[in-house]
Structure 1
Amino acid sequence: MLASTSGCGLLGGDEGDSAAQGNGQVEKAKIKVSVMPLIDVAPFHLANKKGYFKEEGLEVETVNSPSGQAGLTKLIAGDVDISYGGDIPFVMANATGSADIKFVAESSSGKPNTMMILTVPTSPVKNVQDLAGKKIAINGEKGVSDTLTKSVMKANNVDFSKVTWVTLPFPEIAGAISRGDVDAGFLVEPFITQASKSVGTVPVVDASSGPTQDFPISAYGATAKFVNENPKTVEAFQRAMARATKEAEADRKVVEPLLVEFAKIDADTAALASLTKFESKLDPARLQRVPDLMLEFGIITQKVDAAAMIAKQPQD
């Protein structure tokens, strides 16, 4: 999926204080947005490259983060204004009281073949039942990867209580599976396609199936303070993102060049990778699935109202 250019604004423009203070259209014209190297952020790069942010009066500086948690940390510290990240960490921050995060814009939900638990043919894991008591590589605990894996295992009546979770960055998971360091691993695209080509991985189970089909995966978040103080800035970001997201969802041909440019993957892999389901509208009922699943698996201890976390959305 997509990597951004760390610390580099793609739109250029005035680097002075005046841009940061607003321009008549928005309260804060120059904003920093943290993203990750994932397909999910393709619409963000599309909006930047096509000048949609600029049309809305925004100059966007792209900040690369290795994980959603790293982006969230930057957000809470005030190092960025908006951060792409997993829905689960955003909800977790609110539930634990570590931050008051608002969902600003939707990003993606899972669809078949975009999130898979994989292994190699020589692994003892042949099916979902074999995952019990095994070592499974994930990119972070109490996140999408282990939560969806647990959900799929539970749906298939498989005990996940004795699984050993091994945390690794997505690019390192295929190698760990191939060497036998782990029995299986959770990957997302384009790492799924890359792993198949490089080490011959085979699917064990689709993590976007059963109770987790169309599960909300990621979004863009900001602190409640930033949202309250900069409503026009937030709305400008939302409009640009919605415009680009609809384009990306309608035509994968606009996405593939972004994978090559920003993720530095080859064109063949970009063409083969299954694309995530880009989402342009935050839906309270759909988003409620996230805290409900977190509560089910003990990630949070009390019910969270997802609707209360959604920033005001632009009128259609």
Structure 2
Amino acid sequence: MSPLPRALPRRDLLKLASGMVTAGALMGTSGCGLLGGSEDKQGGNAQVEKANLRIGGLPTSELAPLHLAVQNGHFKREGLTVEIINAPDGGTALTSTIGGDYDITFSSYVPIFAAQAKGGTKLKIVADCASSTPNTCMIMASPGARVHSPQDLAGKKIAISGAGTISELMVKASMKANSVDYSKVQWMPLGFPNMPNALKADQVDAAFVVEPFLTLSARDAGAIPVVDTATGPLEDLPLGGYVSTAKFADENPKTVAAFQRALESAVAEAQDRSKIEPLLPQFAKIDKETAAIITLLKMNFRADATRLERIPRLMREFGYIQNDVDVASMIVAPPQS
């Protein structure tokens, strides 16, 4: 197993702000495997009820195991053909899943638990995805904004991936932890790929960015790190997972189990950074040099109710939901290895 490069400390991010690289177009890609088994009229085969899956995703580094599962045949071995469709943010991807456009989607946990708390369409968590580690989720400031500390963020225009997402929640929680009033912040939903350019053009004062856009913001926009939101009370916070409607999970138990087995195998393989680093330029559209230095989130598979309950607790604290969420009942237990 190849050793993971050391996380870039804050001082090195400041150094990156003076450098320039070409990031390329930040648009998502799709991947598909090969179908295993004979397909019937309902789209199933001898292994699963539904063989062709549309999976919602984002062009962010934590989805590397999903792309690895496509490229290295983990899905193929389970009789699945997977197409990955990138959405602008997790909330949009979740809405598309509820509407039937995707079978399973990656989303941050905030929209997932918000939808569950409202009632209506019931959701099932198929797998966990990633949790925060230092230098992976950061509030960065535009070089012309004169924002240098958490206190400077009060009343500023801050970009987030989407309204009601984990990015908004983490900014609020980080500002509160630093005794900063967030009530007058101007929230700007932009989507992660648009944030480096928005910072460079001074369209926003600050932005909540994750990798690879954190490194791109420092290099291409000269953005300044202000708050590492993945430290202190938010360290190792579960960020997002894979979810389907309860109806899909109930009607396609073999398909869900096959997806889980493939993803678990890919997550295990992804612990070797050399396996996923070559994929980052493909689906995150970054250059090889950037892929080599970005800090990766902690990649997970098994959804644990105790860990995930941290999110609904924070959501209640900040007024995102009013009712408790039974997290344990949402989790689809993975098949025994």
TM-score bracket, shorter-length normalisation = over 0.9
- For the 8 Å contact 1:3–1:36, the answer to whether it is kept is no
Matched, 1:292 2:313: yes
- Describe the superposition over 1:194-226 as per-residue Cα deviations: whole angstroms up to 9, x where unpaired: 111112112001011121111111111001011
Matched, 1:302 2:323: yes
| 1:174 Cα deviation from its structure 2 partner | 2.3
Residue 187 of structure 1 aligns with an amino acid whose one-letter code is V
Mapped to 1, the partners of 2:108 and 2:41 lie a distance apart of 29
Matched, 1:168 2:190: yes
| Secondary structure, aligned partner of 2:257 | helix
1:272 aligned partner: 293
- For the 8 Å contact 1:81–1:222, the answer to whether it is kept is yes
Mapped to 1, the partners of 2:144 and 2:43 lie a distance apart of 58
Mapped to 1, the partners of 2:243 and 2:221 lie a distance apart of 35
1:311 aligned partner: 332
- For the 8 Å contact 1:19–1:30, the answer to whether it is kept is no
| 1:302 Cα deviation from its structure 2 partner | 1.1
- Describe the superposition over 1:150-202 as per-residue Cα deviations: whole angstroms up to 9, x where unpaired: 10111111111111111212222222223332221111100011111112112
Residue of structure 1 aligned with 2:102, choices 59, 80, 83: 80
- For the 8 Å contact 2:303–2:331, the answer to whether it is kept is yes
Instruction: State the TM-score, normalized to the length of structure 1.
Output: 0.93
| 1:17 Cα deviation from its structure 2 partner | 6.2
Aligned residues: 313
> Comparing 237-246 with 32-41, which one deviates more in the overlay?
32-41
Residue 58 of structure 1 aligns with an amino acid whose one-letter code is L
Residue of structure 1 aligned with 2:162, choices 140, 165, 177: 140
Within-5 A mapping of 1:81-160: 81-160=103-182
- For the 8 Å contact 2:215–2:294, the answer to whether it is kept is yes
Matched, 1:38 2:60: yes
Residue 228 of structure 2 aligns with an amino acid whose one-letter code is D
- Describe the superposition over 1:48-84 as per-residue Cα deviations: whole angstroms up to 9, x where unpaired: 1111111111122222222212211221111221111
> Comparing 31-40 with 170-179, which one deviates more in the overlay?
170-179
- Describe the superposition over 1:104-152 as per-residue Cα deviations: whole angstroms up to 9, x where unpaired: 0111111111110001444221101111111111111211111001101
- For the 8 Å contact 1:35–1:64, the answer to whether it is kept is yes
Residue of structure 1 aligned with 2:283, choices 262, 267, 271: 262
Mapped to 1, the partners of 2:184 and 2:208 lie a distance apart of 17
2:71 aligned partner: 49
Within-5 A mapping of 1:230-269: 230-248=252-270, 250-269=271-290
| Secondary structure, aligned partner of 1:18 | coil
- For the 8 Å contact 2:199–2:217, the answer to whether it is kept is no
- For the 8 Å contact 1:152–1:210, the answer to whether it is kept is no
Mapped to 2, the partners of 1:61 and 1:199 lie a distance apart of 32
| Secondary structure, aligned partner of 2:180 | coil
> Comparing 178-187 with 283-292, which one deviates more in the overlay?
178-187
| 1:13 Cα deviation from its structure 2 partner | 4.1
| 1:231 Cα deviation from its structure 2 partner | 1.0
| Secondary structure, aligned partner of 2:93 | helix
- For the 8 Å contact 2:91–2:164, the answer to whether it is kept is no
2:83 aligned partner: 61
| Secondary structure, aligned partner of 1:242 | helix
Instruction: State the TM-score, normalized to the length of structure 2.
Output: 0.88
- Describe the superposition over 1:2-40 as per-residue Cα deviations: whole angstroms up to 9, x where unpaired: 96534xx522449x9627532222222222211111111
| 1:313 Cα deviation from its structure 2 partner | 1.9
* RMSD (Å), alpha carbons: 2.0
Matched, 1:5 2:26: no
Question: Sequence identity, in percent?
Answer: 47
Unmatched segments (≥5 aa) in structure 2:
1-22
- For the 8 Å contact 2:29–2:282, the answer to whether it is kept is no
| 1:310 Cα deviation from its structure 2 partner | 0.7
